[in-house]
Amino acid sequence: MADANPRTFDLFAPEESVIYPTEIVKVFRNRSALYELKKLEDTINDSLDPEAVAKLEAKAAEVRAVIERSALHVTLKGISTTVSDAVFESVPKVDPEGKTDAEFAELDAARDDMCNAKILEAMLVAISNAEGATAGLPGERTGEWFESLPIEGRAAIMKTVRELSFAAFQYQSEVESADFSQTY
């Protein structure tokens, strides 16, 4: 039990006291506006008429505003190797016995997808829209929510997951390594 003294802290909550990096990823959901913007940009690039380009640029700016209003702002945090190891341990490994190579590969890929969804679930801090309204976290439905996103949104999220994971792993290997001769 924590002491009432404000100068004390809970030694048994070290994971909560570690501050990992966070990033916000924008996921644009208005596919129609994205398509329209691509067509406008192609027309702008092909046009030699400065007046036409100016009108197209104005229209493109309007479409960009529509796209921005469709954005989800997904806040992710780094997690420790302890948490990621626990996730991988929580998902049973596939037993290859009695399975063809194709069956094993399919089941192993499904396990990888489940691990990725659980890692993403652990890294999710908040999801909000462009107006700042916050949605509840998807919890056990993280994989389903992730699969519903546009492919470039999923790619941006996974890129950030990799970057935050690398940052946490790098920090742990540099600071929490067995080489106690370094101090920070």
The tens digit of pLDDT for each residue in 27-64 reads 999 999 999 999 999 999 999 999 999 999 999 999 99
pLDDT for 20 equals 82
pLDDT for 56 equals 95
pLDDT tier at 14, thresholds 50, 70, 90: low
pLDDT for 29 equals 92
Q: Tokens 């009695």 identify what position? A: 98
- Domain assignment present for residue 75? The answer is yes
Q: How many domains does the chain have?
A: 1
- Domain assignment present for residue 149? The answer is yes
- Domain assignment present for residue 123? The answer is yes
Q: Is the dihedral of CA 153, 154, 155, 156 positive or negative?
A: positive
Domain span at 168: 18-28+71-173
What is the CATH number for 144?
Answer: 3.30.2220
**Angle 156-108-114 (CA atoms, 0-180°, nearest 5)?**
45
At 25 the three-state DSSP class reads: strand
pLDDT for 184 equals 47
Strand partners, 73: 26, 128
Of 30 and 183, more confident: 30
Span 109-155, pLDDT tens digits = 999 999 999 999 999 999 999 999 999 999 999 999 999 999 999 99
Average of per-residue pLDDT across 171-182:
56
